[in-house]
Structure 1
Amino acid sequence: MITSCKKPQPTKKPNILFIFVDDLRPELKSFGADYISSPNIDWLAKNGMAFQRHFVNAPSCGPSRYTLLTGQYGLADNDALFNRANKVVQEDKTIDPSMPEWFRTHGYTTISVGKVSHHPGGRGGKDWNDSTKIEIPKGWDKHLMPVAKWEHPRGAMHGLAHGEIRGESGTMDVFQSTEGDDAIFPDGLITNEALTQLNELTTNNEKPFFLAVGLIKPHLPFGAPSTYYDYYAEVKLPPIKHPHKPEARTTWHGSGEFNQYNKWEKNMNTDTIFADEVRRHYAACVSYADAQAGKILAELKRTGADKNTIVVLWGDHGWHLGEYDVWGKHTLFEESLRSPLIIKYPGMKLKGFNTNAVVETLDIFPTLCDLTGVEIPDFAQGVSLKDILVDSKTKGHFAVSYQSNAASIRTETHRMTLHNDGFVELYDHRTIENETKNIADKYPEMVEELKKAIKDKMQ
């Protein structure tokens, strides 16, 4: 009898492909926006699970990505990751590993392309290209940001077509539609680099990979090739829900980020034609980002690695398109905090299922550990979503979000926002008033319960 002396080869852990999309509210057909063309992300939802009530932990790019990449609550400002990085460089032993570092130490090749941390490419300095200032030290084997005509990552972040870079505030148009292929805007370059990295990872790499790709659009300014805008030129847009500025105290703001661009002296809150034009350009950017995601997913399939790869698509926060008279993020309203989350993994049984379980960004780190068989670290403050992925009717949990001056908690039925000075907003999401009618004075026991829940979750 002939026997083999070869030892059985260990099963390779699943790869991870993580697609970040900047400023993407759930403005996708798979999340209920029927007028949007998002076939590639919708395909992912049909082959994975869409978390319809996923909430970020902070309504700004930097702190939201901090929670994702560290698995912990952090500072509420955009320098959260750089502040952490300074401590890592100083060899502060109290600083826990980041998510990419955790997977890297567990045998993964880790690569980021584009805007994964707050700065595209993950570096600081005047133009965000200083290799001595790293946002996530020890995290990535490679962290890449192609810039081409945009000269540097800062230029690409706020760039328009053909290398146009934002200069003084108010001089760059708030939106743009220009003829050309996808590479006339920075996301086309990011996608091409992601395809290159994916090809190399699946050809020459024996280790499992963690590839994170960060797309910039639909971040301001709203620029995309004209083929994407043309689809929306005659599309009838849904009405803006709750379009008026709240009379009572809230976390409302004056759309400062939006107003630093050239708007041709038009006011989107009083000019409905201009407001719709802004919304059409946002939609065009969503479709442009969707096309880039589609190219990445197609390349994953072409390599055959899709059979052993977990795919996650995540929006770093929501975005107001006129709700409550706001254009932008930075509030603690539902519009700023709810964002898309889709997870697909090998051997998944519940393909195409939606879940209405309330979950938060902090849950993604332990979920990826659970799905790959990597140890879930004790310091991760979220919970694995694997039970929900196995049974879409599984209950979720409270989701906490915060700014520097307030914190908010979302339950299945209510949202409460607690300001630092003790003022409370409480809204019932089962009512038509939604977040326009503060009912905090009517439910003091619920308010106290939710105050305690915020404290318990964030301690």
Structure 2
Amino acid sequence: MRRPAFIVIQLLLSIFATGMVQAESQKPNVLFVAIDDLNDWVGCFGGNPQVKTPNLDKLAAEGGLVMTNAYAPATVCCPSRSALLTGVHAHKTGVYGNKNNLKNAPKAKDLVTLPEYFSQHGYHALSMGKIFHKHPLPGDTGNKKSDAGQWAFDEYHKTLGGIGPASKKRPVNGLPNLPGEKVSYHYHAFDWGPTAENDETKMLDYRTASWAAEQLKTRDFDGKPFFMAIGISKPHLTWYVPQKYFDMYPLDEIVLPKTLATDLDDILDRNGKRIYSPSASWLRAEKYGKHKEAVQAYLATITFVDDCIGVLLDGLAGSKHADNTIVMLWGDHGWFLSEKQRYGKTQLWQESCRVPLMVKVPGVTPKNKQCMGLVNLIDMYPTLVELCGLPENSVNDGHSFAPLLRDPNMQWNHPTLTNGCLPGFYRVYDGRYSYISNRQRGAEELYDHRDDPMEWTNLIGNSEHDGIKSRLKAFVPKTDEPKSPENPD
């Protein structure tokens, strides 16, 4: 008598399970694309009118909403990525610099990262390329067993390698060090030149993009929705790319960013002393007349990256997943190309804080549209959670901007926070004014971007702006988590 009832129960369970599988398969997929050290020098972002980025511009034309007011949670790779992937700011976790592995940070090691969260909620999470910052493991002198965040994915693939520069000398660009300058990693890293072969298909990032495109075109991920994180390592230094990309930017046509000789003179500590000097890389380029070559190399590398993005997006477009995949493409922080008399990152001025962010939600985001809403990369975690219908993660510091994707013209200007590379170093930006506080040095800065987009004039000593300063300062964290343990060199 019990057997028919048992059969009915089994049938109902089977139908329920089938319904669950179908429900999961109807959730949108996520293609999460990180680009290392890319600033706003992208055609549709307008950071440099000379740059050639046809594939990123095509993404904008096909519904990739251009978030023109997007900012990084930190201006160095590790803290920025750790913050956006955990959804928690550096001043709460102690992950301030590139030597702070979040897995060694008492306040960060148990946080559920974005790919883990999606995996826990029915997604297949897979990755290739740099998503988390890479850290050496104890006793790994050969750097062969690095922690690159493998643990966060159901499926992790190492990059496939690529070709190096044509020249064996270092630096390839022949840029001498300054008299008395100590030769270090940073000296050798500020380098550029053509690769041994004029073939982009043999480059590491191109091979990563090709791998991802093939996965999209050939796999169904066992019927699960997927969270695919793809990391493009350039335009991070060194700028070694095929000669064809340098040829796209003739030196005699390069227009350099505007700079001001006295730019750093009005940023003073509590004792009235200037706290910033030009970077060593800027001083070398200045002394030996290599600014145009440096800008040419960065532009060339961006266009190479754009070709890689084209391969990846063509793979998605040619797959069965094209109409059900959210694309979220971002740079982890900005980069100076001689602005503020420096090359690089780490500081809290506009060029290092502003980032490219593009979001395509099929059937939702409009084509050829720029959105002025003020957002932070730390907002990507809760935004993707909401877009994919997952339960909210209450730990997240960020705020979902999913409503902004549906209505890009709405007002969205809550001040946004960027952490510096040390405790007590912050920038708050409200879409017009940026306030920078360095508690360790007792220094403050205030800039009006409407009248001074290059941040040349520090208004902090002008009493007329005391109210603006007070309003923005209220968003600066009151306490700082101590820096978490550092990796050995």
TM-score bin, normalised by smaller chain: 0.7 to 0.9
Per-residue CA deviation, residues 208-229 of structure 1 (Å, 9 max, x unaligned), is: 1111111111111111111211
CA contact (8 A) 1:56 1:317 kept: yes
Corresponding residue number in structure 1 for 2:233? 216
Corresponding residue number in structure 2 for 1:436? 456
CA contact (8 A) 2:37 2:335 kept: yes
In the alignment, residue 406 of structure 1 is paired with which amino acid? F
Per-residue CA deviation, residues 280-313 of structure 1 (Å, 9 max, x unaligned), is: 1100100000100110111111112111100011
CA contact (8 A) 2:103 2:109 kept: no
Per-residue CA deviation, residues 89-137 of structure 1 (Å, 9 max, x unaligned), is: xxx99822111110010011111211111129x978444431xx63547
- How many angstroms apart in 2 are the aligned matches of 1:384 and 1:172? 37
In the alignment, residue 242 of structure 2 is paired with which amino acid? P
Secondary structure of the residue aligned to 2:259 is coil
1:415 aligns with 2:430: no
Which of these residues, 66, 87, 103, is aligned with residue 50 of structure 1?
Answer: 66
Corresponding residue number in structure 2 for 1:146? 159
- How many angstroms apart in 2 are the aligned matches of 1:457 and 1:78? 21
Give the direction of change, closer, same or farther, for the CA distance of 1:235–1:67 in structure 2 (3 Å limit). farther
**Structure 2 length-normalised TM:** 0.80
Corresponding residue number in structure 1 for 2:110? 95
Secondary structure of the residue aligned to 1:369 is helix
Gaps of 5+ in 2: 1-13, 172-182, 269-274, 482-489
Secondary structure of the residue aligned to 2:286 is coil
In the alignment, residue 419 of structure 2 is paired with which amino acid? Y
- How many angstroms apart in 1 are the aligned matches of 2:56 and 2:367? 14
Quote the offset at 1:391 in angstroms. Answer: 1.3
In the alignment, residue 143 of structure 1 is paired with which amino acid? Y
Identity of aligned pairs, percent?
Answer: 28
1:324 aligns with 2:353: no
- How many angstroms apart in 1 are the aligned matches of 2:129 and 2:108? 29
Which of these residues, 280, 285, 288, is aligned with residue 296 of structure 2?
Answer: 280
1:246 aligns with 2:264: yes
Moved more, 435-444 or 329-338: 435-444
Per-residue CA deviation, residues 311-364 of structure 1 (Å, 9 max, x unaligned), is: 011001100001111111111110011010000012114222101222111110
CA contact (8 A) 1:48 1:348 kept: no
Secondary structure of the residue aligned to 2:327 is strand
Give the direction of change, closer, same or farther, for the CA distance of 1:162–1:106 in structure 2 (3 Å limit). farther
Corresponding residue number in structure 2 for 1:449? 471
- How many angstroms apart in 2 are the aligned matches of 1:255 and 1:42? 32
In the alignment, residue 255 of structure 1 is paired with which amino acid? S
1:255 aligns with 2:269: no
- How many angstroms apart in 2 are the aligned matches of 1:456 and 1:298? 47
Give the direction of change, closer, same or farther, for the CA distance of 1:126–1:335 in structure 2 (3 Å limit). farther
CA contact (8 A) 1:350 1:391 kept: no
Corresponding residue number in structure 2 for 1:194? 212
Aligned residues, how many?
430
Q: How does 1:26-105 map to 2 (within 5 A)?
A: 26-32=40-46, 33-46=48-61, 47-74=63-90, 75-80=95-100, 82=101, 84-86=102-104, 95-105=110-120
Which one has the largest radius of gyration? Answer: 2
CA contact (8 A) 1:113 1:144 kept: yes
CA contact (8 A) 1:162 1:184 kept: no
Give the direction of change, closer, same or farther, for the CA distance of 1:371–1:183 in structure 2 (3 Å limit). same
- How many angstroms apart in 1 are the aligned matches of 2:288 and 2:168? 31
Secondary structure of the residue aligned to 1:27 is coil
In the alignment, residue 352 of structure 1 is paired with which amino acid? N
Gaps of 5+ in 1: 151-158, 260-265
- How many angstroms apart in 1 are the aligned matches of 2:457 and 2:189? 37
Corresponding residue number in structure 1 for 2:30? 16
Quote the offset at 1:63 in angstroms. Answer: 0.5
Which of these residues, 447, 452, 470, is aligned with residue 427 of structure 1?
Answer: 447
Secondary structure of the residue aligned to 1:143 is strand
CA contact (8 A) 1:18 1:212 kept: yes
Quote the offset at 1:254 in angstroms. Answer: 4.2
1:181 aligns with 2:234: no
Give the direction of change, closer, same or farther, for the CA distance of 1:229–1:106 in structure 2 (3 Å limit). same
CA contact (8 A) 2:419 2:426 kept: yes
**Structure 1 length-normalised TM:** 0.85
In the alignment, residue 448 of structure 1 is paired with which amino acid? S
Give the direction of change, closer, same or farther, for the CA distance of 1:215–1:418 in structure 2 (3 Å limit). same
